[in-house]
């Protein structure tokens, strides 16, 4: 038996440590060693830990692999286990059963990543991934220290998906959940990430440079590696643009298509008119929004039935504060454009 097998056996077979501690030690050990070619199952350890080892292999291949044909085999190997089937089908697992809850969470988490980001990647389906991750989070007890690190890993994935996904009104509920359940310590994460999250939660314009810097940074969970390998970069820009166009409806009744290009410093290969048309078709803009193709103008429909309500007042906030935020947002974009023109 190899030294790798011996060390895994020693960690998982310890009788004086609970599963929470053993899984922590196992995770630390496996991140220091190459287990992609580890032969499984290991007969000397129980079925639960053999499944956990398969999940570790899947996670490594998702983040670092270039060949994914083995993933289907690994998922099939895990899913045919009667032990795993019983866990997956359980409607309730007590918090004391850390190993079983860990397996249920990890298996479903990795399966959604595989299905939506690798097997059939689609920027348009990211909101479905977010919703599935939210359901997975609900498997675990809230505000339980034992599950804190596992919950945080999932919440970080949800946040990253919110940042890169196209506009969907359901995201606001997710952002509210994250504001209460995900703490971004400034000494652990970049100031840019904290700033971007604040802009998202306050429903304000996201500058492109800030957005790009965040989505190309690793949040210590390897998720950025999966995203960058499987999602179309141009479509990610379109998603960012969609979210910002929706915010423009707070301040404009009409806006020229050319002005949108200038405001957001867009390349001509991004078809803003087509993006706006898709948003109208998918009801992402207020009712009766339309495109004046002759004059190249995007016309936003009325959010409220009362036409006397001003565009800013309809946002539901303090009109002066909203106006100040708008001036700040647009001013920052124009400053960026001027800086580039001078460079």
Say if CB 135 and CB 173 are below 8 A apart.
no
Q: What is the mean pLDDT of residues 186-201?
A: 86
Decide if 206 is inside a domain: no
Query: Nearest to residue 312, comparing CAs of 326, 295, 299?
Result: 326
Say if CB 11 and CB 25 are below 8 A apart.
yes
Decide if 191 is inside a domain: no
Q: In what order do the strands lie in the sheet with 297-299?
A: 254-256, 297-299, 290-292
**Same domain (yes/no): 152, 27:** yes
pLDDT tens sequence across 143-184: 889 999 999 999 999 999 999 999 999 899 999 999 999 988
Decide if 208 is inside a domain: no
- In sequence order, the 6+-apart residues with CB closer than 8 A to the CB of 205 are 199, 244, 247, 248, 329, 330, 333
**Same domain (yes/no): 177, 261:** no
Residues facing 256 on adjacent strands: 297
**Same domain (yes/no): 25, 163:** yes
pLDDT tens sequence across 196-235: 999 998 989 999 999 999 999 988 888 999 999 999 999 9
Which residues form the domain of 159?
3-181
- Best-predicted range by mean pLDDT (70-84, 219-233, 273-287): 273-287
* Distance of alpha carbon 206 from alpha carbon 244, whole angstroms: 7
**Same domain (yes/no): 168, 33:** yes
Q: Of 181, 201, 223, at which residue does a domain stop? A: 181
Examine the pLDDT at 67 and tell me if it is beyond 60: yes
**Same domain (yes/no): 11, 145:** yes
Decide if 242 is inside a domain: no
* Distance of alpha carbon 105 from alpha carbon 97, whole angstroms: 12
Examine the pLDDT at 331 and tell me if it is beyond 80: no
**Same domain (yes/no): 96, 176:** yes
Examine the pLDDT at 187 and tell me if it is beyond 50: yes
**Same domain (yes/no): 177, 262:** no
- In sequence order, the 6+-apart residues with CB closer than 8 A to the CB of 62 are 68, 71, 110, 113, 114, 118, 222, 226
Per cent of the chain over pLDDT 90 is 64
Task: Output the domain CATH number for residue 291.
Answer: 1.10.10.10
Overall domain count for the chain? 2
Query: Could you give the dihedral angle defined by the CA atoms of residues 312, 316, 318 and 319, in that order, rounded to the nearest 10 degrees?
Result: 10
- Tell me the whole-structure pTM to 2 decimals: 0.85
Q: What is the mean pLDDT of residues 107-127?
A: 92
- Residue 288 pLDDT level (bands cut at 50, 70, 90): very high
Q: Please state the three-class secondary structure of 146-214 as a single string.
A: HHHHHHHHHHHHHHHHHHHCCCCCCHHHHHHHHHHHCCCCCCCCCHHHHHHHHHHHCCCCCCHHHHHHH
Q: What is the mean pLDDT of residues 302-324?
A: 47
**Same domain (yes/no): 114, 15:** yes
168: which 2 tokens? Answer: 């969907």
**Same domain (yes/no): 144, 292:** no
Say if CB 284 and CB 276 are below 8 A apart.
no
Poorest-pLDDT segment among 205-214, 254-263, 275-284, 327-336 = 327-336
Kindly report the average pLDDT of the chain as a whole number.
Answer: 86
Say if CB 275 and CB 241 are below 8 A apart.
yes
Decide if 96 is inside a domain: yes
Poorest-pLDDT segment among 33-37, 123-127, 307-311, 331-335 = 307-311
Say if CB 264 and CB 238 are below 8 A apart.
no
* Distance of alpha carbon 195 from alpha carbon 201, whole angstroms: 10
Query: Nearest to residue 328, comparing CAs of 210, 207, 196, 197?
Result: 207
Residue 3 confidence (pLDDT): 84
Q: Of 181, 207, 224, at which residue does a domain stop? A: 181
* Distance of alpha carbon 204 from alpha carbon 321, whole angstroms: 12
**Same domain (yes/no): 28, 173:** yes
- Residue 342 pLDDT level (bands cut at 50, 70, 90): very low
Residue 325 confidence (pLDDT): 55
Higher pLDDT, 321 or 139: 139
Q: What is the mean pLDDT of residues 239-246?
A: 96
């Amino acid at each position: 038996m190899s030294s790798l097998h011996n060390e895994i056996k020693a960690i998982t077979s310890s009788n004086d440590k609970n599963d929470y501690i053993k899984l922590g030690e196992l995770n630390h050990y496996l991140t220091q060693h190459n287990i992609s070619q580890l032969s499984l199952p290991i007969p000397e350890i129980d079925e639960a830990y053999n499944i956990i080892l398969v999940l570790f292999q899947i996670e490594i291949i998702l983040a670092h692999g270039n060949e994914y044909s083995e993933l289907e085999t690994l998922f099939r190997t895990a899913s045919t286990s009667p032990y795993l089937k019983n866990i997956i089908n359980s409607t309730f697992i007590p918090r004391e059963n850390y190993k079983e809850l860990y397996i249920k969470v990890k298996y479903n988490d990795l399966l959604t990543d595989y299905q939506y980001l690798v097997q059939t990647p689609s920027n348009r389906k990211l909101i479905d991934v977010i919703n599935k991750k939210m359901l997975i989070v609900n498997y675990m007890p809230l505000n339980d220290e034992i599950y804190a690190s596992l919950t945080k890993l999932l919440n970080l994935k949800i946040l990253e998906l919110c940042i890169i996904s196209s506009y969907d009104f359901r995201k606001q509920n997710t952002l509210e959940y994250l504001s209460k359940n995900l703490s971004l310590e400034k000494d652990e994460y970049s100031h840019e990430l904290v700033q971007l999250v604040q802009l998202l939660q306050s429903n304000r314009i996201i500058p492109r440079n800030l957005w790009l810097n965040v989505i190309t940074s690793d949040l210590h969970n390897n998720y950025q590696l999966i995203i960058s390998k499987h999602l179309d970069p141009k479509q990610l820009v379109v998603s960012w643009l969609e979210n910002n166009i929706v915010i423009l409806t707070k301040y404009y009744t009409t806006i020229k298509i050319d002005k949108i290009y200038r405001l957001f410093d867009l390349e001509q290969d991004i078809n803003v008119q087509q993006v706006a048309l898709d948003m109208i078709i998918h009801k992402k803009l207020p009712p009766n929004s339309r495109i004046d193709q002759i004059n190249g103008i995007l016309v936003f429909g009325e959010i409220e039935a009362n036409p006397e309500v001003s565009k800013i007042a309809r946002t539901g906030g303090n009109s002066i504060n909203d106006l100040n935020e708008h001036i700040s947002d647009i001013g920052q974009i124009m400053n960026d454009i001027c800086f580039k023109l001078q460079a």
